[in-house]
Amino acid sequence: MKLRKVTAAAAAALVLSLTATACGGDDKDDSGSGSGGGDKIKVGIKFDQPGLGLKQPDGSFSGFDVDVATYVAKQLGYNADQIEFVETKSADRENALARGDVKFIAATYSINDERKQKVDFAGPYLLAHQDLLVKSDSDIAKGTDLNGKNLCSVTGSTSAQNVKNDIAPKANLKEYSGYSECIAALQSGTVDAVTTDDSILAGFAAQSQYKGKFKLAGLKLSNENYGIGVKKGDTATVDKINKALEKMVSDGSWDKAVKDNFGPANYQNEPAPKIGVIVK
């Protein structure tokens, strides 16, 4: 009798196991961990950078990074409605990839040696530069013109410190929690210039409410090679993304994305960078 019970229990367990396996076999990849063809792919972007990665009031997304990410995801086998954009703030990008929260990140992610110890990069797909955004009638034409002027950047930014320490030591540095506040301060005349990557500045300047009010100084104070971050060791995905980026350039989609997102600010972008070539 006891033997029959054990046998029955084992049989029941076997049936449950087979049922679970059959159900599991029908599941599709919805985590973004596959190489394409699943239900969804999770992609990290910024949610608060006009022209690059911006979440609109209606829940849609716009910007150059969004266009690049959408194109790449399509080449990996996903349609636009299969992409789930996930907000990845600068301080959490490496962790998001390590945890597997996202498949890749396109979020003004500059390639540098320190980050390459933690993640792998495809690209670069854009060469940006630290620059200044000033009013359209401003006479600020070079970094030293900031001496005695009010310069704005976000709290903790290295961009403003670079200017303050190396270019214009007599500039009056004002730090706010976000670039939107800096742009508002520039518009009101509270500050004379805002500094960060030229692509970010161009994105803000391209907004309809600021059209014609600001200009980029064009100083090229640094080189920022934007790459697409991928989990460390996932070389297969890096290779696929690199091929997608090459195709995006060759078929004209890259140029269109630059014009659509930065054009109104008269952004003088660099040509599309060559894959694997980092400009120091």
- Could you tell me how many helices (H) and strands (E) the chain has, helices first? 9, 13
pLDDT tens, position by position, 232-244: 999 999 999 999 9
Q: What is the pTM of this model?
A: 0.81
- pLDDT value at 188 more than 50: yes
- pLDDT value at 2 more than 80: no
DSSP 62-131: ESHHHHHHHHHHHHTT--GGGEEEEE--GGGHHHHHHHTS-SEE-SS-B--HHHHTTEEEEEEEEEE-EE
Among 65-79, 88-102, 133-147, 261-275, the least confident range: 261-275
> Count of alpha carbons within 13 Å of 199, Cβ hemisphere only?
28
Element (H, E) at 247: helix 235-250
- pLDDT value at 92 more than 60: yes
Cα–Cα distance, 105 to 121 (Å, whole number): 9
Predicted confidence at residue 162, as pLDDT, reads 84
pLDDT tens, position by position, 15-51: 434 344 444 333 334 445 444 445 899 999 999 999 9
How many residues in the chain? 280
Cα–Cα distance, 25 to 194 (Å, whole number): 54
Residue for token pair 């090229």: 220
Cα–Cα distance, 58 to 60 (Å, whole number): 6
- pLDDT value at 3 more than 70: no
Predicted confidence at residue 4, as pLDDT, reads 44
Exposed e or buried b for every residue in 234-244, given b needs 16+ CB within 10 A? beebbebbbeb
Predicted confidence at residue 38, as pLDDT, reads 56
Predicted confidence at residue 171, as pLDDT, reads 95
Pairing status of strand 41-45 against strand 83-87: parallel
Chain mean pLDDT for the chain: 87
State what percent of residues in the chain have pLDDT above 70: 86
Exposed e or buried b for every residue in 121-134, given b needs 16+ CB within 10 A? bbbbbbbbbbbbbb
